[in-house]
Amino acid sequence: MLELSHHVDLKPYNTMGISCFADYLTRVSSEGELREALEWAGEKKLPVCPLGEGSNVIFSGDFQGLVIAIGIKGCEVATGEIDGQVLVKAGAGESWHEFVQWSLSQNYYGLENLSLIPGCVGAAPIQNIGAYGVEVKDVFHSLQAMDVVTGEVVTLTGEDCQFGYRNSVFKGKYRDRFIIVSVTFSLSKTFEPQLDYGQLQREVLQTAGVNPVTGQLVSDVVCRIRNSRLPAPEQLGNAGSFFKNPMVTREHYQKLLEQEPEMVAFSSGDECWKLAAGWLIDQCGFKGVAYSTGAGVYRYQALVLVNHGHADGQAILTLAGDIREAVSERFGVDLEIEPRIY
């Protein structure tokens, strides 16, 4: 039996801490319950909003439809070891960080650089989350998703998902068509540290000293770095990195470098450069800014927009708009908002 709550405050369901209301909310813990919820919404002709931990969502106002809190759990080995790789399947409602820690406890490697990224497993492929030189696509095998209209569960490969930088097909033509129910990863039984990121390499080697570098040690260092840069949502509402790092042509980069010799950027191949969005925002004077609406920018990291307690979605988006306008005027660069806007 589908259990529905009416007129639900979504503040506990999004890490930005925005208070707004959903007409209806239900929690599902199985494919059958999810299918039942979608059938109900379909009969009522209501839009649906799937939510995991709400760490990459901004509600611009009340949601006039059905919010489905995804609680499909479970971690299991899908197949045994094949050429040193093992397929591991996790339910979409599993906490991402807890899943990373579970994989390490089983001596399965490949996810350690992605430790402490907020959100659930089901959201990871949508964003193609990444950190410290590793992205989900690097360890992705397949996912299972339910068609919102038909209730059919389909399997999609990495090619089907069309992964890009913080992007996938679920942010394009498959947006609102599928809800992910589980994800399968190809992890390694042999630990090979990925330490291309300078700060991570330095801190890992310093922490390890004369001892061998382990997957858990890398994970612990990643957690330490992230905790030093990002506020805990329960203490200060935020959705992590609010903007993508913009990509520009080599010509654009060279022109900017002449004007801004200290500009932070990284070569991304194919004659493209990735600019550090946080640096651009900082140069425009927004780091630490606090609007009277309650919207602000984190004082230690300009890439993170925060809610000082009473900001609504419109206040956050107004601040984001001011930032985008300032960066565009000064650098000729368009910043793209990373969280999904409802």
Length reported for the chain: 342
Q: Is residue 43 classed as helix, strand or coil in its secondary structure?
A: helix
CA distances from 112 to 18, 146, 287, 289 (A): 31, 29, 29, 33
Q: Which residue is associated with the tokens 């996912």?
A: 143
d(CA 31, CA 102): 23
- For this structure, is 340 an active site residue? no
- Around Cβ 314, how many Cβ atoms within 10 Å? 16
Q: Of 31, 94, 203, 338, which is the active-site residue?
A: 338
Q: DSSP letter string over 49-77? A: EEESS-TTEE-SS-EEEEEEEE----EEE
CA angle 10, 58, 181 (to 5 degrees): 75
d(CA 155, CA 182): 10
- Around Cβ 235, how many Cβ atoms within 10 Å? 8
d(CA 19, CA 67): 14
Of 67, 69, 70, 68, nearest in space to 20 by CA: 67
User: What element of type H or E holds 208?
Assistant: helix 198-208
CA distances from 103 to 22, 165, 215 (A): 35, 24, 10
- For this structure, is 177 an active site residue? no
Q: Of 115, 142, 166, 219, which is the active-site residue?
A: 166
Q: Which pair of structure tokens corresponds to residue 121?
A: 């497993």
**Residues identified as active-site:** 166, 241, 338
